Each structure stands twice: as C-alpha cells, then as structure tokens.
C-alpha cells in the first residue's frame, strides 16, 4: 500500500530511537505494563510517534488491565489501517497508522468490555505521543 508519508528505512532509523523503530517499523511489541501511556488519564489526542497523525482521543481510552493503552475507537475511521496478522501462530488484526504505515498494535473484538464498540485497540505506548487538551 502507498502511504502519504514514505521514507527510506535509513531515514526511519535515523529519526526513531531503536525501541521506537522496532515497534513502529518492525511490528515489535513493547513489554506489558511499562509504557508511558498505559495508566495515563490526561485528556487529549494521541498521535502517531512516527508521523504525527492524530489517531485516538483520550475519551475513548479505557482500563483494560492488559498492560498497554486500550481504546475502543479511533479518532477518525480513516486514521488507522487494519491488516490481517498471521504471525506467531495466531490470527489477529494489526493496527497501523494509515498515514505512514507504522505498526501501532492490534485490535480485538468480543472480549466483553463495557464499551460502545466491543473493540479493544491494544496500542503500544511507544508508538504514540499525547497532545494534552488546553484548559
């Protein structure tokens, strides 16, 4: 797929820390319960750390106790791209930034969380930046 923002691998490596590169560009996963935004309750907008595209609003973030930030809906239906992921002997749905193609995490359905969409966008903190709302 062609993305609005495309860069050579060397440029991504230069712009991102090694940990950010592993998650965002190589579909890695940060360890559970260590991410910057796992327990954050700050009101604001979460954006892609790689390109700055707005992805999620804090009012769709919820406590799932899974070890990563969880959201029940993207900020805009076109903000993320969903891709079948058959790695690690599982079938999951990968969540990518639709602007630059960076890996964000996975989305799960039917887990019984009391959210309006019955979805849990399980997103790596390291793939996000938070822009707090101005009071």
Catalytic residues: 122
DSSP secondary structure code for residue 134 in this structure: P
For residue 131, CA distances in Å to 73, 99, 107 come to 18, 18, 22
What residues contact 54, with CB distance under 8 A and at least 6 apart? 45, 46, 47, 75, 76, 79
Residue 90's Cβ-side half-sphere holds a number of Cα atoms within 13 Å equal to 6
């Amino acid at each position: 797929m062609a993305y609005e923002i495309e860069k050579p691998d060397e440029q991504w490596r230069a712009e991102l820390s090694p940990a950010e590169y592993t998650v965002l560009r190589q579909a890695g996963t940060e360890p559970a319960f260590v991410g910057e935004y796992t327990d954050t309750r700050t009101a604001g907008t979460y954006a892609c750390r790689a390109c700055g595209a707005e992805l999620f609003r804090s009012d769709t973030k919820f406590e799932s106790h899974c070890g990563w930030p969880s959201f029940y809906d993207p900020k805009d239906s076109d903000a993320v791209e969903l891709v079948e992921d058959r790695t690690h002997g599982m079938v999951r749905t990968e969540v990518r930034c639709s602007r630059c193609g960076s890996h964000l995490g996975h989305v799960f359905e039917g887990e019984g969380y009391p959210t309006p969409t019955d979805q849990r966008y399980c997103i790596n903190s390291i793939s996000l930046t938070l822009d707090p709302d101005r009071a």
